Amino acid sequence: MRPPANGPASIWWMLKKAGAPWAEFLVARSAGGPSLPVFSGEGEAEMFVWLGGAFEEGWWIRETTAGELISVLYGPCADVGWVALDPSPRMTPDEILAGIVSRKRFLGWLLNDPGSIPQKSDAHSPAGSLVDPA
């Protein structure tokens, strides 16, 4: 799923380890490397938890704001190079690659950096897409 071109959502969902004394967020494997799963809706996050068995492993859905997501990407997940938007737990690493955005581009989009947001004239070109090409 692509984020809307008119700006970032104010509420997101991520998966956080229950009972962890520090902020531990679920990181998924993708063909591009480690990626942070981020969900645009609570239902998508719930489906990921239940279908993927993450609930049994102590992962819980955590509602977050765009500002907190920025802090997570600069803090505990600073070494993650990709953000996986609304991934399915059944996706292979190659399939996740089709729906990932570089961490840098996603942060720019959240921070309203005009250089990270595609222009209408290049919306159909890979350079203008928020989803990074393989």
Give domain status of residue 99, yes or no.
yes
- What average pLDDT score do residues 52-58 get? 68
Number of domains in the chain: 1
Residue of 108, 86, 111 lying closest to 35 (CA atoms): 86
- What average pLDDT score do residues 15-20 get? 81
Amino acid 8: pLDDT: 56
Amino acid 115: pLDDT: 57
Amino acid 4: pLDDT: 44
Alpha-helical segments (H) within 3-127: 42-52, 66-74, 93-97, 103-110
Residues in Cβ contact with 58 at an 8 Å cutoff, skipping those fewer than 6 apart: 17, 18, 19
Residue of 134, 125, 30, 132 lying closest to 87 (CA atoms): 30
Residue length, the chain?
134
**Max avg pLDDT among 19-23, 54-58, 85-89, 125-129:** 85-89
Q: Look up the CATH number of the domain holding residue 41.
A: 3.40.1350.90
Rounded Cα–Cα distance for residues 24 and 63 (Å)? 14
Sign of CA dihedral 45, 71, 126, 118: positive
Give domain status of residue 6, yes or no.
no
**Enclosing domain of residue 36:** 11-128
Give domain status of residue 68, yes or no.
yes
Give domain status of residue 55, yes or no.
yes
- What average pLDDT score do residues 8-12 get? 75
Average pLDDT value for the chain: 75
Q: How far is the CA of 40 from the CAs of 8, 53, 80, 122, in angstroms?
A: 10, 20, 19, 24
Rounded Cα–Cα distance for residues 64 and 90 (Å)? 24
Higher pLDDT: 9 or 106? It is: 106
